[in-house]
Structure 1
Amino acid sequence: MMSIQATHFQNWLQNTDLGQYVIQQERDFFQAAFRGFYAERVLQMGFTRCFAPQNAHALWVQQNHDLPAQIVAESATVWRNNAFDAVMLPHFLELSPEPQRQLFEITRIVQAAGHLVLTGLNPHSLWRFVGDEVPIHQAIDLPKLKSWLPELGWQIVQGRFMNYLPPINSQKAIEKLQFMELAGNRWLPHAAAIYGLVLRKQLTPLRGACDEVDDVLLSGDVALGLTRGKF
Structure 2
Amino acid sequence: MKASEAKIKIQIMHDWLMTPVGRYMLEWEENLFQTLSADIFGFNALQIGFSEINALKDSRIKNRWVSNQFFPEPPSSNATDGAAKLSLIHDIDRLPFASESIDLIILPHAFEFAENPHMILREVDRVLIPEGQVIISGFNPASLWGLRQSIGKLTGAYFLPSYAEFIGLPRLKDWLKLLNFEINRGHFGCYRPPCRTRHWLKRFAFMEKAGNRWWPFLGGVYLIQAIKRIHGVHLIDAAFRKRPRQIFQTIPVNHKTSGENPDQTS
Structure-2-length-normalised TM-score: 0.66
Question: Which whole-Å CA distance do the structure 1 matches of 2:43 and 2:72 have between them?
Answer: 15
* 8 Å CA contact 2:68, 2:86 repeated in 1: no
CA RMSD of aligned residues (A): 3.1
Matched, 1:34 2:37: yes
Answer with 1 or 2: which has the greater Rg.
2
Structure number with the higher helix fraction is 1
The structure 1 segments of at least 4 consecutive aligned residues displaced by more than 4 Å after TM superposition are 59-62, 65-74
* 8 Å CA contact 1:89, 1:118 repeated in 2: yes
Q: What residue in structure 1 maps to residue 61 of structure 2?
A: none
Say which of 119, 140, 143 aligns to 2:167: 140
* 8 Å CA contact 1:45, 1:73 repeated in 2: no
SS in 2 for 1:181: helix
Q: What residue in structure 1 maps to residue 261 of structure 2?
A: none
1:133 CA displacement: 3.5
Change (3 A) 1:148 1:198: same
Identity %: 27
Q: What residue in structure 1 maps to residue 211 of structure 2?
A: 184
Matched, 1:11 2:15: yes
Q: What residue in structure 1 maps to residue 63 of structure 2?
A: none
* 8 Å CA contact 1:120, 1:139 repeated in 2: yes
SS in 2 for 1:25: helix
Q: What residue in structure 1 maps to residue 114 of structure 2?
A: 96
Change (3 A) 1:203 1:135: farther
SS in 1 for 2:120: helix
1:137 CA displacement: 5.3
Alignment length (residue pairs): 200
* 8 Å CA contact 1:12, 1:134 repeated in 2: yes
Question: Which whole-Å CA distance do the structure 2 matches of 1:56 and 1:194 have between them?
Answer: 22
1:67 CA displacement: 8.1
1:171 CA displacement: 1.7
Q: What residue in structure 2 maps to residue 78 of structure 1?
A: 96
Moved more, 126-135 or 146-155: 126-135
- Which runs of 5 or more residues in structure 1 are unaligned? 206-231
1:78 CA displacement: 2.2
Change (3 A) 1:175 1:91: same
1:70 CA displacement: 8.9
SS in 2 for 1:95: coil
1:189 CA displacement: 1.7
* 8 Å CA contact 2:98, 2:127 repeated in 1: yes
Say which of 110, 113, 126 aligns to 2:131: 113
Matched, 1:160 2:194: no
* 8 Å CA contact 1:59, 1:72 repeated in 2: no
Question: Which whole-Å CA distance do the structure 2 matches of 1:67 and 1:83 have between them?
Answer: 25
Read off the aligned partner of 1:41 and give its amino acid letter. Answer: N
Structure-1-length-normalised TM-score: 0.75
Question: Which whole-Å CA distance do the structure 2 matches of 1:80 and 1:120 have between them?
Answer: 27
- Which runs of 5 or more residues in structure 2 are unaligned? 58-65, 74-80, 150-157, 233-266
